[in-house]
Chains A and B, each alone.
Chain A
Amino acid sequence: MFPRLHFAVCFTAVLGPTLVHTLCPDTADGYKVRLSIKTALGDDAYKWDESEMFLFRATLAFAMRKYNQKPYEVSDVLVCNETQRVSFWFVVTDPENTSELISGKDVERAVRISRNRINNAFLLTDETLEFLNIPPTLAVPAESGTPPWLIVFGVVIGVVGVGIIALLISSFIQKRRKKGVTEGEEEDCEEEACDKGNGVSHPVEEGADGVNRGFVGDIPFTKL
């Protein structure tokens, strides 16, 4: 029994890394991840190292747990083909059967559900933490009840409408007043400058001899 156990342990110890090798990268069930930390954070960028990778695997295990409640562990997330870019492939193994991979569709759904949490763990966004071939779930912009432009429109058209009505009413009142005045006294309006609604109109002044006095200044009349 003991040699068999020993043999079994040796077997998995040898098989472990090769298991990773054969399972990952898997184009059907695995995904490539690309991080652009310097683009996102500039001077505050952190260095990508082993601990960050551990966080990634842990976050992904969390996402899988959230998705189908199975007891995923960090060891269920296998990572390979890391590059300087900071990109790598990952696959997720079934916690009950480590030689089987979780299907790509399930991984995709799990990631999409917890995408926001994953992004925030790394202080990144959908564009800087890319899961290739997993479409992001974009946040729906908050929609208000009435579109805001209608409110401004309503205010402006109200003000303009009030202005028009006010001007029309004042013209109407002035005409009424003028009609009442000029029914008896038609001469008065010609002496003063009446607001005839078209602008200020100055009636042409005519003297007794028919000369247009509008342009003539005050000329003292010489006594004959």
Chain B
Amino acid sequence: MEKESRPSWEQPAQFVLACVSYAVGLGNVWRFPYLCQMHGGGGFLIPYLIMLVLEGVPLFYMELAVGQKMRLGSIGAWSAISPYLGGVGIASVVASIYLCLYYNVINAWSFWYLFHSFQEVLPWAECPLNSNHTGYLDECRKATATQYFFYRETLNITSAISDGGGVHVGQALCLLLAWMVVYLCIIRGIASTGKVVYFTATFPYLVLFVYLIRGLTLHGALNGLKYMFTPKLEQLANPTTWINAATQIFYSLGLGFGSLIAFASYNHHNNNFERQAIAVSLINSSTSIFACIVTFSIYGFKATLNYESCLERVKLLLLNTFSLAEDTINVDNITYWITELNKTHPNQFADLLPKLESCDLEAELDTAVEGTGLAFIVYTEAIKNMPLPQLWSVLYFFMLLLLGLGSMLGNVTAVTTPLRDLRFVTHYLSNETTNGLVCLFCLVLGLGFTTRSGNYWLTMFNDYGATFALLLIVLIEIISVCYIYGLEQFAKDIEDMIGHRPNWYWKIVWAIVSPLIIIMLFIFYIINYIMGGTPTYQAWDKDLGQSVTTPYPPYAQAFIILLLVSSIICIPLSALYTYCNRYTDKTDTLPK
């Protein structure tokens, strides 16, 4: 008989906020606006919301149900469903470990930028001077000051993944701090986590709201918003739009990592998770849309700024070449003057032509950026042009930090909960020690991402570490719940917990629709990977001052395959192991 019963959340609100904090992460801010832009602005909401209803909410519901029923972490929960499925839980833990390793490095970058915001002149606002002080550094002139700060000062990136480079001490220090903060938040398990999520789940909304007001009042913000809200409905005919919508919902909710199962396992038996599942999924999607509005105001501001600077440069070029008085040309009559000067001085104009830029607002708005490029380069570019940039910078990076930290809490809990389920761990090690060892392990391995080529490895982990494995894990989860465990039994368990059976809609979606969608995503992923040829990455070329598409060297490609396979292989291996155990048990008990 167990003396110590399972810990639980002090309030059901803590559970809901923990799920919100986990699901609402950096992807809502830097991936969704990109997809919106790529797939026709407002029109993208249609496939997004459809996929939310058909795929997002049902799978979320399912994971919470499994966790709350089994009251164990992912390994224990799936072993309880069927002894051969323990591997699914192990695969989830492996995927979570990969995520923990690199995700906190992004938090380290947020810390770095946050600390660097406490200066009179933001370090990414101006290029540093060259050695004889006659101008700016070459690399910085060719790129922009914000790109230079990110690639050179923050990462000190090498030109290829094979160039190792040493550890960037500043990054290593920030990573240490990031892991210490995570440890502080999970030190006593959900007793600590439950209190922290009150803050990590709510404060980002405050910042987003403030940014919304700031963003909407920026000059040129309306250009961005108009661009976003004019739907290009022809994009709906493109299958990639639907695939991307499904993928975004899938990853945005954090399914398959085991975090949701872990959080739900600490619930009381009768907690009404059905309403909570719907609430959290809706909150997550609304946050994405909200962040999209903020991002597009910022985009509009930045694009308008670039467009107007471009016009200024053209005007200056014309004034200087033809020595006209300063106030003859302004932004309104610039096109008139171009045609005038072409007529009156055709030869001189012809010489000028290669240097003459064509300024296009649409083209500026069309440049879509996602990921770290959006968060650390585009946003910082916009912030440095706002009045009182230090304040906005601090607010913004603090928000990024909280979003990332909230997701980290879920990821680490997904690893520590199955560990704490193991009898011998609980017997020999205290909670604080287990959590500390997990954090230390991830810190030490994560230092590899703070080397000069670390960003390339991080991108590799991000693209291949969990993406494929999760699709397979969730597919096996839903199929085993519906067909191995049995949909009827599952419905009965839910009735036991919340008092009523799930209605026909849930059953149809679980049994047929969601698995079909995931199989479709799965096939698409495999086709993309095979047809994509050699996998490539974006290497920063410091002579050109921009990123260059480079193929991965052979050992990196082998490592990619290792990443893809390593979490999935746990599933068949574990099933085989259980089978062998059972077989030897059976032969042992045969009458002699």
Q: Which of A87, A157, A163 contacts B177 (CB 8 A)?
A: A157
**Chain A residues whose C-beta falls within 8 Å of the C-beta of B320 in the assembled complex:** 34, 85, 87
Nearest Cβ distance between residue B233 and chain A, in whole angstroms? 45
Q: With A and B bound together, what is the CA distance between A37 and B327 in angstroms?
A: 10
Chain B CB within 8 A of A121 CB: no
Please judge, given known A-B contacts A135-B134, A138-B129, whether A39 and B326 are in contact too, CB under 8 Å. yes
**Chain B residues whose C-beta falls within 8 Å of the C-beta of A156 in the assembled complex:** 111, 115, 177
**Chain A residues whose C-beta falls within 8 Å of the C-beta of B189 in the assembled complex:** 197-199
Closest A residue to B136 using CB positions: A138
Whether the pair A160, B432 counts as a contact (CB closer than 8 A) is no
Q: With A and B bound together, what is the CA distance between A201 and B266 in angstroms?
A: 10
Please judge, given known A-B contacts A84-B325, A140-B133, A175-B430, whether A201 and B115 are in contact too, CB under 8 Å. no
Chain A CB within 8 A of B188 CB: yes
Whether the pair B184, A149 counts as a contact (CB closer than 8 A) is no
From residue 166 to 216 of chain B, which have CB atoms closer than 8 A to chain A?
Answer: 170, 173-174, 176-177, 180-181, 183-184, 187-192, 194
- Of the listed stretches A58-66, A98-106, A164-172, chain B binds A164-172
Whether the pair B323, A200 counts as a contact (CB closer than 8 A) is no
Q: List 17 A-B contacts (CB under 8 A).
A: A34-B320, A85-B323, A135-B134, A140-B133, A141-B121, A148-B118, A149-B115, A149-B118, A152-B114, A164-B183, A164-B187, A167-B188, A167-B432, A171-B432, A196-B4, A199-B8, A200-B10
**Chain A residues whose C-beta falls within 8 Å of the C-beta of B319 in the assembled complex:** 85
Please judge, given known A-B contacts A137-B134, A198-B190, whether A171 and B4 are in contact too, CB under 8 Å. no
Interface mask (A189-202 → B, CB under 8 Å = 1, otherwise 0): 01000011111111
Whether the pair B5, A153 counts as a contact (CB closer than 8 A) is no
**Chain B residues whose C-beta falls within 8 Å of the C-beta of A137 in the assembled complex:** 133-134
Q: With A and B bound together, what is the CA distance between A199 and B192 in angstroms?
A: 8
Chain A CB within 8 A of B165 CB: no
Nearest Cβ distance between residue B383 and chain A, in whole angstroms? 17
Whether the pair B5, A204 counts as a contact (CB closer than 8 A) is yes
**Chain A residues whose C-beta falls within 8 Å of the C-beta of B181 in the assembled complex:** 160
Interface mask (A140-156 → B, CB under 8 Å = 1, otherwise 0): 11000000111011001
How many residues on A have C-beta within 8 angstroms of the other chain's C-beta atoms? 42
Q: With A and B bound together, what is the CA distance between A13 and B326 in angstroms?
A: 36
Q: With A and B bound together, what is the CA distance between A195 and B10 in angstroms?
A: 12
Chain B CB within 8 A of A95 CB: no
**Chain B residues whose C-beta falls within 8 Å of the C-beta of A138 in the assembled complex:** 129, 133-136
Whether the pair B4, A152 counts as a contact (CB closer than 8 A) is no
Question: Chain A interface (Cβ within 8 Å of chain B)?
Answer: 34, 36-39, 83-87, 135-138, 140-141, 148-150, 152-153, 156-157, 160-161, 163-164, 167-168, 171, 175, 190, 195-204
**What are the 9 tightest A-B residue pairs by CB atom distance, in nearest-first order?**
A199-B7, A135-B134, A83-B323, A198-B7, A149-B115, A199-B191, A84-B325, A85-B323, A38-B326
Q: With A and B bound together, what is the CA distance between A213 and B119 in angstroms?
A: 61
How many residues on B have C-beta within 8 angstroms of the other chain's C-beta atoms? 50
Please judge, given known A-B contacts A137-B134, A141-B121, whether A86 and B326 are in contact too, CB under 8 Å. yes
Closest A residue to B420 using CB positions: A198
**Chain B residues whose C-beta falls within 8 Å of the C-beta of A38 in the assembled complex:** 326-327
Whether the pair B187, A168 counts as a contact (CB closer than 8 A) is yes
Chain A CB within 8 A of B9 CB: yes
Whether the pair A201, B325 counts as a contact (CB closer than 8 A) is no
**Chain B residues whose C-beta falls within 8 Å of the C-beta of A175 in the assembled complex:** 430
**Chain A residues whose C-beta falls within 8 Å of the C-beta of B3 in the assembled complex:** 190, 203
Question: Chain B interface (Cβ within 8 Å of chain A)?
Answer: 3-10, 111-112, 114-116, 118-119, 121, 129, 133-136, 170, 173-174, 176-177, 180-181, 183-184, 187-192, 194, 266, 316, 319-320, 323-327, 420, 430-432
Closest A residue to B326 using CB positions: A38
**Chain B residues whose C-beta falls within 8 Å of the C-beta of A200 in the assembled complex:** 7-8, 10, 191
Closest A residue to B269 using CB positions: A215
Whether the pair A164, B184 counts as a contact (CB closer than 8 A) is yes
Whether the pair B326, A167 counts as a contact (CB closer than 8 A) is no
Q: With A and B bound together, what is the CA distance between A37 and B431 in angstroms?
A: 70
Closest B residue to A84 using CB positions: B325
**Chain B residues whose C-beta falls within 8 Å of the C-beta of A196 in the assembled complex:** 4, 7
**Chain A residues whose C-beta falls within 8 Å of the C-beta of B4 in the assembled complex:** 196, 198, 201
Q: With A and B bound together, what is the CA distance between A175 and B324 in angstroms?
A: 84
Closest A residue to B179 using CB positions: A160
Nearest Cβ distance between residue A37 and chain B, in whole angstroms? 7
Nearest Cβ distance between residue B148 and chain A, in whole angstroms? 15
**Chain A residues whose C-beta falls within 8 Å of the C-beta of B183 in the assembled complex:** 164
Whether the pair B184, A199 counts as a contact (CB closer than 8 A) is no
Please judge, given known A-B contacts A37-B326, A85-B323, A199-B191, whether A163 and B115 are in contact too, CB under 8 Å. no
Please judge, given known A-B contacts A39-B326, A196-B4, A197-B430, whether A152 and B180 are in contact too, CB under 8 Å. no
Q: With A and B bound together, what is the CA distance between A85 and B116 in angstroms?
A: 42
Nearest Cβ distance between residue B548 and chain A, in whole angstroms? 30
**Chain B residues whose C-beta falls within 8 Å of the C-beta of A171 in the assembled complex:** 187-188, 430, 432
Closest A residue to B430 using CB positions: A197
Whether the pair B184, A198 counts as a contact (CB closer than 8 A) is no
Whether the pair A160, B177 counts as a contact (CB closer than 8 A) is yes
Q: With A and B bound together, what is the CA distance between A149 and B173 in angstroms?
A: 12
Whether the pair A140, B129 counts as a contact (CB closer than 8 A) is yes
Nearest Cβ distance between residue A211 and chain B, in whole angstroms? 16
Please judge, given known A-B contacts A85-B319, A201-B5, whether A153 and B174 are in contact too, CB under 8 Å. yes
Whether the pair A152, B325 counts as a contact (CB closer than 8 A) is no
Whether the pair A199, B190 counts as a contact (CB closer than 8 A) is yes
Q: With A and B bound together, what is the CA distance between A140 and B188 in angstroms?
A: 50
Nearest Cβ distance between residue A42 and chain B, in whole angstroms? 11
Q: With A and B bound together, what is the CA distance between A150 and B324 in angstroms?
A: 51
Q: With A and B bound together, what is the CA distance between A149 and B170 in angstroms?
A: 10
**Chain A residues whose C-beta falls within 8 Å of the C-beta of B184 in the assembled complex:** 160, 163-164, 167
**Chain A residues whose C-beta falls within 8 Å of the C-beta of B170 in the assembled complex:** 149
Closest A residue to B319 using CB positions: A85
Whether the pair B325, A198 counts as a contact (CB closer than 8 A) is no
